[in-house]
Amino acid sequence: MSRALWLLGMLAACSACSVGAPGPSIDVDRAMGHVGSLMLLGPRPGDTDASRRAAAYIERELQAAGASVERQPVGAVDLPAIEVLGQTYRSAHRVVTSDENLVVRFGPRQGAAVLVMAHYDTVRDSPGAVDNAAADAVVIELARALVATPPTTPVILAFTANEEIGLVGAEALAAKLGPEISFAIALDLIGGSGELTINGASRWIGTPEMRWIADAADRAGVILRAPLAHRVVSRWWPQAERSDHGPFTRRGIRALHLYHRGQDGDWIDLAYHTSADGLGRVHRASLDELGRVLLALLPTAPPAHGTEGFWLPVVANAVIPRWLLIAIELLFAAIAIGSLVSQRTSRARGGLGALVGVGCFAVTAAITVACERLTAADHAAPWLHAPVRHEIALGLVVAGTFGLVTLLARRIRPWIGALRYLVIATVIPLVIGSVVLAIGAAELAWIWLLPAAVMALAPRLGPARVLGPLALLLPVVLVLAPNQVREAAWNGFLPTSVPLTAWMLGLGAPALAGVAWWFRRRGAPGPLGAFVLPMGCLLAITAGVLVLSHAHPGCSGTDFNQFQLACERSPGVR
């Protein structure tokens, strides 16, 4: 394990140094001007005068830059059904549109091309700055740069019609140009203040392709991110992709989506599809970094497809083969199993063991859920508006309640069986991580397998054995990070009907077992501890309930039921 950790550390150190100085970019002043001009047209839903004026504006600007524009009719498009886990999200149907795709070609006409595309329509009632005038502006200026310096490999730029009602223009484009395309990149939700992010990297995107993109980001001086959960979703359900790369992925063509992940410190943009998606939401620095990445990427042809890769989190633009990730995770699992098998303990009798501990856990869960629901009033999920406050408050209630219940149980019979709690604390994350790995989500499995290995080794760590219970908090911290839960709820992956307590205890059960093991190893508290511990537990419960009682959500339960997290914006800008 030490060699594997050393390798990851070296990769992190090297990647931090690999991001170079900022490379050449597009003309950001011109790009911002295009955003403003498109927004002057107002909302631009498909098959309206506004969408046709938007297409005409883009065509004029491309021609003024010296590019030759091809208008491709979209016409009738058969949209496939979208089904995920047996649930139908969209039935198959036909759409007929009078809007056209705009296509511009650069470089040699022979060979497979890299396609960069942005849709030019909006939803009704939204001026569509981030979605998607900013992306249109970047592609217009990218065309100007490619006219000035023609690429040596084929490049196609496209502006697609009617993305908002089912990726209609992209479906037609993929059907017509698919055989010509080696790699497709959709630009959507561009210009926000969040990090430039890769989405939609399906199983068609392997280690060579990831390194091709990562190397371009390094040359551009830009840090790209590839969220772990996004990659898993894109590999499992490519049919559910919601941007223009989707039709290409479904046809087996390598494709992905670049976007700026969120706004205002969130991983979501509350102005999405609303009248608030205005010019002030577009950040010049975001357009600049995207332009740099594209100009660094397009001069080099995509590599041949290879085995799948893993884009390391946290570190900058670092990619390793996915098999190495799986090997490291299997090593963690082997360490956990081997350490458990080698444990030895005496078989003490006559005390309270793990079964009563499970009962204490159940009582804690019931009391904490009751506190959460009583303080929530008519709101289904007030914790989504302030996750940190609610997680801290509920954490205090859980800790205090579990402490009191276990102390009361101890007054009846002494606690025994530290090894039992060690086994529970190790086996639960070991099983979860192994299942996650077995179903093909290696990107997420380490979140449970690493803590399982550390917890199993804890008895051998001497004074540092507290690292075991602390490591078990990793799934709680990563999965319930404030931005993570808000983004998951925003995208429909986190049912708001499930209490936050259930998520916390489901993820935190191994940590509670680890704490129980740690206290069992320390033995019974002395006279001072016998007073301090109950008082501390009572204070924790009181503090948690007070925080929950005074945690007023950002909007009413009625507004949340209607608008979800978008209710946090004032009614006048929804």
Domain boundaries, the chain: 2-319, 365-569
pLDDT of residue 527: 53
pLDDT at residue 4, as a whole number: 45
Measured CA to CA, the distance from residue 100 to residue 119 in angstroms comes to: 11
Q: List b or e across 536-569, with b for residues whose CB sees 16 or more CB atoms inside 10 angstroms.
A: ebeebbeebbebbeebebebebebbeebbbbbbb
pLDDT of residue 14: 47
The pLDDT value given to residue 210: 97
- Tens place of pLDDT for every residue, the chain, 574 residues? 444 444 445 444 444 445 778 889 999 999 999 999 999 999 999 999 999 999 999 999 999 999 999 999 999 999 999 998 888 889 999 999 999 999 999 999 889 999 999 999 999 999 999 999 999 999 999 999 999 999 999 999 999 999 999 999 999 999 999 999 999 999 999 999 999 999 999 999 999 999 999 999 999 999 999 999 999 999 999 988 999 999 999 999 999 999 999 999 999 999 999 999 999 999 999 999 999 999 999 999 999 999 999 999 989 999 999 999 999 999 999 999 999 888 765 554 555 666 777 888 899 999 999 999 999 888 989 999 999 999 999 999 999 998 888 888 877 766 666 787 888 899 999 999 999 999 999 999 999 999 999 999 999 998 899 999 999 999 999 999 999 999 999 988 888 889 999 999 999 999 988 988 887 766 555 554 556 778 889 999 999 999 998 888 878 888 988 888 989 886 554 5
Structurally, at CATH architecture level, domain 2-319 sits in: 3-Layer(aba) Sandwich (3.40)
Contacts of 45 (CB under 8 A, 6+ apart): 51, 121, 122, 123, 124, 164
Whole-angstrom Cα distance, residue 43 to residue 274? 10
Q: Output the pLDDT for position 529.
A: 52
Give the other-Cβ count within 10 Å of 264's Cβ.
Answer: 12
pTM of the full predicted structure?
0.91
Q: Cis omega (within 30 of 0) on the bond before 162?
A: no
- Single out the residue of 38, 28, 24, 35 nearest to residue 284, CA to CA: 28
Sign of CA dihedral 393, 394, 395, 401: positive
Burial 224-254 (b: 16+ CB within 10 A, else e): bbbbbbbbbbbbbebeebbbbbbbbbbbebb
Tell me the three state secondary structure of residue 159. strand
CB 41 within 8 A of CB 120: no
**In this structure, are strands 82-84 and 87-90 parallel, antiparallel, or unpaired?**
antiparallel
Structure tokens at 153: 């490999």
| Largest Cα span, the chain | 88
What gap in Å lies between CA 326 and CA 142, rounded to an integer? 39
Phi-psi region of 85 (alpha: psi -120 to 50; beta: other; left: phi over 0): left
Distances (CA, A) of 363 to 106, 369, 422: 67, 10, 21
In the numeric block, which tokens belong to residue 335? 């360490």
